[in-house]
A and B are shown apart, each in its own frame.
Chain A
Amino acid sequence: MKMTKIYEGSHQWIMFGRDEDKPSNIIDTNQYVVRTPNRCLLLDPGGAELFAPMMAAVLHHAPVDQITDLFASHQDPDVISSLGLWDQALTNAKLHAPAIWEGFLRHYSCESIEYMPIPDNGGTIKLESVELQIIPAHYLHSSGNFHVYDPQAKILMSGDVGAAIEGPDAPLFVDNFSAHVEKMRYWHQRWMPSNQAKRVWIERVRNLDIDILAPQHGRMFKGDDVKRFLDWFDALQVGIAV
């Protein structure tokens, strides 16, 4: 599991992914960690298959008892099917996840972790002095879906938006936007069901000051590529399977 620090300030953002030992038949995922002096938030901590390498990687940055918060952008197994394992490993943690998915996510087992239901209009996650904004992204692609924005680090963790399927040796950042477009087109057209939801999200996100757009799969976008992505996505027709 590769670990890359993508922000260092009063707190840190670390990206985990490109796991070479991952079984080849499961989708590659990016996990993100926000680390403050005494706490640690795992964003979309991943599937059950990924638990051991992910936990081992996090232990380079935080002890187990400081992993206090998990965030699940939506209910998919590649996002959070490891919940039952985190639930047994962590004694004092909270899961921030969409309210509408609570009864579903509890199927993964969530007994010791406290479920913090996120209402449809979003909210915040306070991690010591850091306040993260939970941005609604419903129907992108899940009916109850959120992204996380850090106004200090200017990072938007964008879940499946901006995702692309790539091999374990793919670079971490988009380096040639035009070439990258074809890696994203089908993903967004097929997985994202609603043009209206897409427009509402783009309008909302254009108001944020973003240095890095960090999806759950594939490469991250930084600098001008963030705007390029939003423009490209704006023009794209989605929901093509009907």
Chain B
Amino acid sequence: MTNQTKSQFIAVASITSELSAVMVVAKEISLAAANAKAIAFRAGDKAKGFQPITDFINELAKETIELVTNINIYALVLYRLTVDEFQRTAAYNKFELAAKMAEGATYAKSMQEPVDHAKQSMQDCQRQFKRDVSQLLGQLEAVMHHARAARVIAANSRIEASQAGEYLQSLQAVAESVDKAAHTIHDNVQRCRIALSVYRNS
């Protein structure tokens, strides 16, 4: 296995690992939203501005979970494609070697078709991988967008929390947890993007 193939396997495998962490964090945001809703309900008029924010937070968490679930399915496809590409490349190399070793054999020329076919097949896989990586990067960008939106919501939450009297601390804690979660999502997704960007279709 070449170093490039190893890096490709690692890059694809790391997406699943990073995204499973994102999934955990998105579920935490969802819990924070439910918690915030309960606090806002108890706070009544004092947290009137906070109530619609909790719905936003919850919606954002749900959308992130959905996106990540889809990306995970896509990452699995990408992993299979990586395996496929590895096998086809190995076959092409073996076929070329066989053709070279068969020089002078009565039927040496008959090896040309399998060599050409293996080469074509390997190149198709490489192209498909690049196309899929570009699409996956697009989906990861959507998650980044959600993370940025969550940070804006966290900022708004802090402002609203400051007007919630004795509920200030509880609601600020919610805002903090949303902000922290948004940071984590941003960082993890950014690592996925960096790992994959070298394989993007140029």
Binding site for B on A (CB under 8 A): 48, 51-53, 55-56, 59-65, 84-85, 88-90, 109
Contacts and interface: CB of A to CB of B under 8 A. Distances in A.
Contacts of A89: 91, 95, 114, 118
B1 interface: no
A61 B114 CA distance: 17
Given A85-B94, A109-B87, A56 B102 contact: yes
A84 B107 contact: no
A52 B114 contact: no
A56 B97 CA distance: 9
Contacts of A85: 90-91, 94-95
Contact of B102 (A48, A55, A84): A55
B56 to A, nearest CB: 49
Nearest to B108: A59
B82 to A, nearest CB: 15
A51 B106 contact: no
Nearest to B84: A109
A88 B88 contact: yes
Given A85-B91, A88-B91, A52 B101 contact: yes
A-B residue pairs, 8 tightest by C-beta: A56-B101, A63-B110, A56-B102, A63-B107, A55-B98, A52-B97, A59-B105, A52-B98
A83 B90 CA distance: 13
A59 B87 CA distance: 23
Given A59-B108, A63-B110, 13 more contacts: A48-B94, A51-B98, A52-B97, A56-B100, A56-B105, A59-B105, A59-B111, A60-B105, A84-B87, A85-B94, A88-B87, A88-B114, A90-B114
A141 B173 CA distance: 67
B86 to A, nearest CB: 11
A60 B106 contact: yes
Interface string B71-115: 000000000000000011011001101111110011110110110
Given A52-B101, A56-B98, A64 B111 contact: yes
Contacts of B106: 59-61
A200 to B, nearest CB: 39
A85 to B, nearest CB: 6
16 contacts: A52-B97, A52-B98, A53-B98, A55-B102, A56-B100, A56-B102, A59-B98, A59-B107, A59-B110, A61-B107, A84-B91, A85-B95, A88-B87, A88-B118, A88-B121, A109-B87
Nearest to B118: A88
Main secondary structure of the interface of A (DSSP, over half): helix
A65 B110 contact: yes
Contact of A55 (B87, B88, B90, B111): B111
Given A52-B94, A64-B113, A59 B102 contact: yes
Contacts of A59: 98, 102, 105-108, 110-111
Contacts of B110: 59, 63-65
A239 to B, nearest CB: 38
Most interface-central of B99, B111, B121 (chain A CB within 10 A)? B111
Nearest to A88: B91
A59 B121 CA distance: 23
A201 to B, nearest CB: 35
Given A59-B108, A61-B106, A88-B91, A53 B113 contact: no
A61 B108 CA distance: 10
Contact of A60 (B87, B97, B99, B107): B107
A87 B60 CA distance: 48
A14 to B, nearest CB: 13
A51 B94 contact: yes
A53 B95 CA distance: 10
